[in-house]
Chain A
Amino acid sequence: MDTDLMIQAEGLQKRYGDTHALAGVSFDVPAGTILGLLGPNGAGKTTAVRILTTLATPDAGSATVAGIDVVKHPNEVRRHIGVAAQDATLDGLLTGRQNLTLVGELCDMGRGAAKARAAELLEQFELTYAADRVLKGYSGGMRRRLDLAASLMTRPPVLFLDEPTTGLDPTSRQRVWDAIRVLLDEGVTVLLTTQYLEEADELAHRIVVVNHGLVVADGTPMELKEASKSARVEVTLAAPSPAAVPAIAALVAGQVQMSEDGRQLSAGVDSSPGLATTLVRALDAAGVLVDNIEIRQPSLDDVFFSLTGDHIEEDVTGDDGVDGDDGGGGGGRGPSGVDPSPDGSGRAAELEGANA
């Protein structure tokens, strides 16, 4: 079962004028998993989604969704997918309920069934209180939840969510995330595009990083972090010791750097199980006392930076500061632990130093 691919994209190319929106993008999404398509604005994420949802045709390459060729049988594909995309809105002049019912009717559900399903989804997304309000009066978060609800009207096996939380406050974002996790439990396959690292890290089983129309990385969040080899160990000694550097030199990648007072050591490391224990034992064997040791996994921003030489571009509005805080507070999953420090710049400088 785990080999079934619900979405398969192969060598997708798309050119708009002089820009290669996609310059040969391939990826697979196994059934029942979430793929995070991560990249900055203009990386080609939305173009990929538009092709897979039959809104655009590729110049080259091919793709199947639910086993159906998107170019040859677009209308077949449309019966198997739900789409919540920023550039495909709902009707601002209809109420939430009317919007959902309209989508259901257009999908040949029949009016009665569409109404029943709409009521069910409004309940599920906690929008019942606003169901009969005109959409224009909805907040961004409510609108996004309704978008998600609309994409679920026909219980499609495949969902495309194009930047489902862009511009949302942390609470609304969390609710959208919760909703997506519920879908996953129901066995839905999801392709999610995002500019947010925490989002991909939180939700996705696998992440495909795109930049300038090309896939620059493909793997689990963990694999990507390891692949970037930018995990670092920082050791604080009780007192400077000449034995410290030789003791760990063989266990780290590259050179060990020492602070001026001789108490701080740092070095790049390849993540491996029990690495901290190994390092402390080696130092102990050399008679060096350790006050503190920390192994810092790279954040996805570090990964992205090391892959592309660019930081993930986030929109320059104020609410991104809020997002950063949210990622710090709510993030931190398992041993990888998303670095909560909001100062991406500080880490970048460090990474540059390591690369140099």
Chain B
Amino acid sequence: MTTTLVPRPVRVDRPSSGSFLGPVADIWAMARRNLVHISREPMQLSDVTIQPVLFTFLFVFIFGGAIPIPGGGSYKDYLLAGILALNLVTSVMGTAVGLSTDLHEGMIDRFRALPIWRPSVLIGRSAADFMTSCLCALIVGLTGLVVGWRSDASGLAILAGFLLVLFFAYSLTWIAQCVGLNAKSPESAASFGFIVLFPLAFVSNAMVPTAHMPGWMQAIADWNPVSAVCAAVRDLWNNPNPSKVINAWPMQHPVEASLIWTVVIIAVAAPMASYFFNKRCTD
């Protein structure tokens, strides 16, 4: 009595944890990894630690005296919202470079072969960058106090101002993810910072009032989301906000404009990043 043994695939069952916490745990693990990176290379963090201090001193003590604020007020009080926005906006470059590096070094392939919740790769990175942004905001606030920035707004309004910029910067990390996913190399991802983020931060009312810019540039600056964010924070902090007199909708309703920009950017860029991620990882 012989039976022919036909080779057949063996089915092995390993139960999945199936926990709804799985995705949260994955995001947290990814975020922690990115935070360890920063602790490992403190220079990576210089753009959110040293740069804010440097910029604050530069602008307050070097340019500050030469910049009059239309409608009066102290340049220091005017500047702080702008310094905050400038630092948080430009630090988003790190998101693009980090993601591009992961792709090029094969880290993403390693993650893809693991049973993870895929979006955690991107969300974890954005979350980590949000945390470093919070650190940056704290440093900007303290440096401001040292150089003489003051606000007579309520604690809640001051907090709201910080949160408004932080959420805006968070939305930009999703654009940075799109850039990082499409960059040919980490170096070209870095150029995104200079080509997009610096103009975005400077062609605005962040550092100087827009009144003295050429007309065409003024129009761009007044509709630049960074201007809306800065104006909104100045309003919330009761700091000088000369943009109030500018007849452009975002300058008249800066808080609403900032929130709309933030939500729209996330709503568009996050799905796009997810799409680029899947595309990049389809092979």
Contact = CB atoms under 8 A, between A and B. Distances in A.
Interface of A: 2-6, 8, 28, 30-31, 50, 53-57, 64, 66-68, 75, 78-81, 83, 85-94, 98, 102-103, 105-108, 134, 157
B10 A4 contact: yes
Most chain B beta-carbon neighbours within 10 Å: one of A3, A8, A106: A106
B12 A157 contact: yes
21 contacts: A5-B10, A6-B9, A66-B10, A66-B12, A78-B115, A79-B14, A85-B109, A88-B106, A88-B113, A89-B105, A89-B110, A93-B36, A94-B33, A102-B33, A103-B110, A106-B30, A107-B114, A107-B115, A108-B17, A108-B25, A134-B40
A66 B11 CA distance: 5
A85 B107 CA distance: 11
B7 A3 contact: yes
B16 A79 contact: yes
A105 B116 CA distance: 9
Contacts of B111: 106
Contact of B283 (A56, A83, A107): A56
B6 A3 contact: yes
Contacts of B247: none
B113 A78 contact: yes
Contacts, number: 112
Nearest to A75: B115
Contacts of A98: 33, 36
A54 B113 contact: yes
B43 to A, nearest CB: 13
A310 B61 CA distance: 72
Given A89-B107, A93-B37, A53 B113 contact: yes
Contacts of B7: 3-5, 28, 30
Contacts of B248: none
B12 A50 contact: no
Nearest to A69: B9
B113 A55 contact: yes
A3 B12 CA distance: 14
A157 B281 CA distance: 25
Contact of B19 (A79, A108, A157): A108
A93 B109 contact: no
A105 B29 contact: yes
A35 B17 CA distance: 31
Given A79-B16, A89-B107, A93-B36, 14 more contacts: A5-B9, A54-B112, A55-B281, A67-B11, A79-B14, A79-B115, A92-B105, A93-B41, A94-B33, A106-B116, A107-B114, A107-B115, A107-B116, A108-B22
Nearest to B4: A3
Contact of A102 (B29, B112, B283): B29
